[in-house]
Structure 1
């Protein structure tokens, strides 16, 4: 099954890092967050990735090409472009990198790679969030529900301490509330989609999270896969520092490989 990664946005809320590189290339432990996401999918046997590029597309292209070239011995004929590898190293990934435009919406990016997933079921997620979501269970849920789309529904991590109240009395206080507490769930990415969802996207400017998802819900064509494990989006410098600290201390919950 193919995995589509949306990696073309500006990352404007994270300007401290994204002026130099696109957000999916911001490193955690010396590797781009995009690499971490792909390694998690690899744990579940995924190796065929379609990466939707946009902002600073060349940075992602150069990195992905370097995964092979920088770790292998090879002979290159600069006249013909033919490359002979003497020992191949790096990740066992098949990569399709598509420039879907700088100002294209998240839905529009899917629309631009429609020809690559026609008639298929595929995974899709954003290039800035890590999780230990069970991809095999997610795909099984999608198959069982028989709908066009499945979204991973997560409880967003709280940035603040949580007070349990009884009248005016504080009964308990948790600085880091359990993610499984019964708060409203949100879109955590990590979708499984049938190609028919792209028919719900009508323009390159469409955001997947707006009208397309709303129309799928109205048509009763979207199911939710509940994930109570780890999930974290890297929206800002604080998120990045927290993810880096988890990796450095060897306590990264998303490291499934």
Structure 2
């Protein structure tokens, strides 16, 4: 299996807390945040992990010169900010021949330690083109809500309204040969997969979600970054 971690963002909202390193290297209990993501991936049968890097990318590269993991790691460099969608598009263009037919994508600023084997079986059993790992969130005022039918197929994304809802957990599985046209067609370099791609994809390909009750943390804002040390200390 292969995974892409989206770690090229500028992390502007977190600068008041972490200004000297890029967000993937933000320290949590004496280790950089990306350390926990990669140790989590080591529990599963990944042969290669791609990491999309941009802001202060040399610091991330230097970290991996000193720290090794059980799978091969390859960096995909962004010369300018690409957004989550642009980063996946850049990955598909530059690494096409080396990408598996089915691959995982993880947001570089969220920690959602679901059972990836269970998620992959769900994806395969439904012959899905895109599967999104999700969870319930009380008083959701930050994330788009996911509406599903009785077969777990995604039928709508709804703006947050402060109520309890099913949210995108930032872990995806893509079928490569079904998404190229959606990502490439009439797209600028910088765009969002959540805002610009998913609402279109649900009408063009088979998109499903599986709900998990696992802890979830997004370190993108200071309040949640502070909370991360308690949640991640459980692993």
TM-score by length of 1: 0.74
Q: For the residues of structure 1 that align with 2:77 and 2:210, how far apart are their CA atoms? A: 30
User: Quick one: structure 1 residues 157 and 47, their matched pair in 2 at CA, closer, same or farther if it must change by over 3 Å?
Assistant: farther
| 2:138–2:164 Cα contact (<8 Å) kept | no
Q: What does the per-residue CA deviation read over 1:82-141, in whole Å, with 9 as the maximum and x for residues that have no partner?
A: xxxxxxxx4222010010233212111111111345452111111111122110000001
Q: What does the per-residue CA deviation read over 1:140-198, in whole Å, with 9 as the maximum and x for residues that have no partner?
A: 011011121100111236599xxxxxxxxxxxxxxxxxxxxx93111111111111323
Partner residue of 1:95? 73
Q: For the residues of structure 1 that align with 2:30 and 2:71, how far apart are their CA atoms? A: 19
- TM-align CA RMSD: 2.1
| 1:111 alignment partner, one of 56, 78, 89 | 89
Task: Report the more deviating stretch, 19-28 or 110-119.
Answer: 110-119
Task: Report the more deviating stretch, 112-121 or 53-62.
Answer: 112-121
Number of corresponding residues: 207
Q: For the residues of structure 2 that align with 1:158 and 1:36, how far apart are their CA atoms? A: 27
Deviation at 1:47, TM superposition (A): 4.2
Partner residue of 1:205? 190
Q: How does 1:66-215 map to 2 (within 5 A)?
A: 66-67=66-67, 90-114=68-92, 115-116=95-96, 117-118=98-99, 120-156=101-137, 183-195=164-176, 196-202=178-184, 203=187, 204-215=189-200
Larger radius of gyration: 1
Unaligned runs of 5+ in 1: 68-89, 161-181
Q: For the residues of structure 1 that align with 2:39 and 2:139, how far apart are their CA atoms? A: 26
Q: How does 1:13-52 map to 2 (within 5 A)?
A: 13-52=13-52
User: Quick one: structure 1 residues 41 and 155, their matched pair in 2 at CA, closer, same or farther if it must change by over 3 Å?
Assistant: same
Unaligned runs of 5+ in 2: 142-162
Q: What does the per-residue CA deviation read over 1:55-95, in whole Å, with 9 as the maximum and x for residues that have no partner?
A: 1111111101121xxxxxxxxxxxxxxxxxxxxxx422201
| 1:48–1:94 Cα contact (<8 Å) kept | yes
Partner residue of 2:155? none
